[in-house]
Amino acid sequence: MPPEHTLSYQLLQLGPFDVATDTHELVDPARFVPDPDAPNGKSPRSMRVRLWHPQSERRGPQPLLIYSHGLLGTGEAVEYIARVLGSHGYVIAAPDFPRTNRSQGEEANSRDVFNQPRDVALVIDWLLARSQDPEDELYNAIDPERIAAVGHSLGALNTHLLGFHPEWQEPRIKAVISLGGPTSLFTRKFLTTRSIPYMAIAAPQDAFIDYEANFLPLLDKVDGAVLVSMEGGSHLGFADEGKWFRWFDNPDTVGCTFAKDTIERNKATTEPWYDELGGVEEGYVREVDPRICEDEVSTAMNPLRQQQLTLMAVRSFLECQFAEAPDDRARWCGYLGEPFERENEEISILVRDP
């Protein structure tokens, strides 16, 4: 834990509100997923959505954060961030996407990420309707002008689609955060389809997503990008369940075993995604070699420490954009630089001027 006098310490502290957690099932009757047990072989697209929100009386409408999990993940992966943000008034929503969540096992289909921007739009529609309903416990809880998206791994790919895809972007989302997300396939043309606050958090030791190919180029691709580099971080350490692997030298050792098995199993049926993302010809994406788990896995920091640092970065970035008081916004924008680095030796910050 950082010393009490530091801004880093403040960012980790719970706020004044008790946090309620609950789950809901959302169904999109207009879209379908394969279902061999259904009469016509398909069923309406549905997903479980986890919510964290203040349980006690609020100060008025507050920000909404939408979390997208990675392949074979769940919305629970954002728990360590959600319980703190919720105590400060935020509403956090984390859907389990129908065809990429953990329950899908060997049937998980990463290509379904192309359907997930519409899933997130459905979640936003639902929550904003609840915030406008005087009979709902979330009445007046959400500020529609302060909505952000954060994603991990494949979920970070979805978050980039929400932020920048020329057709699928979600204009209600006002800030984007990537946790170890693949970006080497995106060109500057893709990442400048609109101007939006953007932060990527990455680790040079990430065994899944090559640091030099995916993160350093972001400073030339995204105007105003903030790149938080975390020395000693791992890919799985960004997810809450990474804490269960803290006795390993690197949690990615376990993750890579499953990733390699999945790649080998799907090799014959895997096709490039480039046309669906916008196309190489249009200049939005380029063909890349993802290089997943090809290098030797190095020793990583304790995932609990990684999650502390990630929470500091995420909360300060959101407060930089969304804090109600100008002085608060200025303080947290200023923190994302020399103070963050000085108080945490694992961190280095690179920023592209807008």
Residue in the block written with tokens 């006795």:
247
- The whole-angstrom separation of Cα 319 and Cα 329 is 6
pLDDT computed for residue 268 by the predictor: 47
Instruction: Give CA–CA dist 309/292, Å, rounded.
Output: 24
Determine the pLDDT at residue 253.
81
Q: What confidence score (pLDDT) does residue 177 get?
A: 98
| Secondary structure (H, E, C), 60-122 | CCEEEEEEECCCCECHHHHHHHHHHHHHCCCEEEEEECCCCEHHHHHHCCHHHHHHHHHHHHH
**Domains of the chain, with CATH numbers?**
7-351 (3.40.50.1820)
The residues facing 142 across adjacent strands are: 62
**pLDDT, position 354:** 59
Q: In this predicted structure, what is the pLDDT of residue 288? A: 84
What contacts 105, CB < 8 A, 6 or more positions away? Answer: 72
Q: Which residues of the chain have pLDDT under 50?
A: 268-269
Judge whether 166 and 278 are in contact, CB under 8 Å.
Answer: yes
Count Cβ atoms below 10 Å from residue 41 Cβ, excluding itself: 10
Element containing residue 315 per DSSP (H, E) = helix 303-322
Compute φ and ψ for 85, nearest 5 degrees.
-60, -40
Q: Could you read off the pLDDT of 45-76 as tens digits, one per residue?
A: 999 999 999 987 767 899 999 999 998 899 99
